[in-house]
Chains A and B, each alone.
Chain A
Amino acid sequence: AQTVTQSQPEMSVQEAETVTLSCTYDTSENNYYLFWYKQPPSRQMILVIRQEAYKQQNATENRFSVNFQKAAKSFSLKISDSQLGDTAMYFCAFMKHEDGGSQGNLIFGKGTKLSVKP
């Protein structure tokens, strides 16, 4: 069974600074996908960034980037130039590849509560 671990229950960062959220996972699968989701107080889970395990290049989306270390089973999220609107719960999630192009289910970590301070 796959597991996802986020070791930082809470973090804070000053506005405009950089912060890194940690995530490790355990799996025997070779083909899978990793995601970071953000959940603000509005409750809606919003996809921040995704990474295919077969791609060595780290994914980047504007101020968000990941450090994907497949051998170490590590998938950290870096937020640059933090903004007040980045305040939210951040969840790391794993999904194994399913044959036929179907969607597998997401396995989530417990989350990291990020507070961006002015």
Chain B
Amino acid sequence: KAGVTQTPRYLIKTRGQQVTLSCSPISGHRSVSWYQQTPGQGLQFLFEYFSETQRNKGNFPGRFSGRQFSNSRSEMNVSTLELGDSALYLCASSRRDPQVGHTFGSGTRLTVV
């Protein structure tokens, strides 16, 4: 079956712009989580959506937002981009069973110049 699909794979944006990243989970997975990965801070949790509702949120400024659609696809948006937002953004999907673990996509590499 298809894995978690993230688009685009690479993105270059200018400081001050906004960006939208997309994630399509594995069919049947209703939970979608987003993580930011940087060399300095490592992997940090952004937010999690389940059945179109944000259920968990990490410690990120309000410039970072997301949403989930009825088909479980999710988007995250970053407004007023800063140089420090340059990172690999990973999306993960999962079923309701916590012990199964998450399935990750290959990420979107965002570079802010």
Q: Taking beta carbons and an 8 Å cutoff, which residues of A are in contact with B? A: 33, 35, 37, 42-47, 50, 52, 91, 95, 97-98, 101-111
Contacts and interface: CB of A to CB of B under 8 A. Distances in A.
B43 A44 contact: no
A102 B96 contact: yes
Interface stretch (B12-20, B50-58, B63-71): B50-58
Contacts of A101: 96-98
Contacts of A91: 43
Nearest to B45: A105
Interface string B98-113: 1111111111010000
A44 B98 contact: no
B31 A44 contact: no
Given A43-B106, A44-B104, A47-B102, A105 B96 contact: no
Given A103-B33, A106-B35, A110-B42, A45 B56 contact: no
Given A102-B55, A103-B50, A106-B35, A45 B92 contact: yes
B90 interface: yes
A36 to B, nearest CB: 10
A46 B50 CA distance: 22
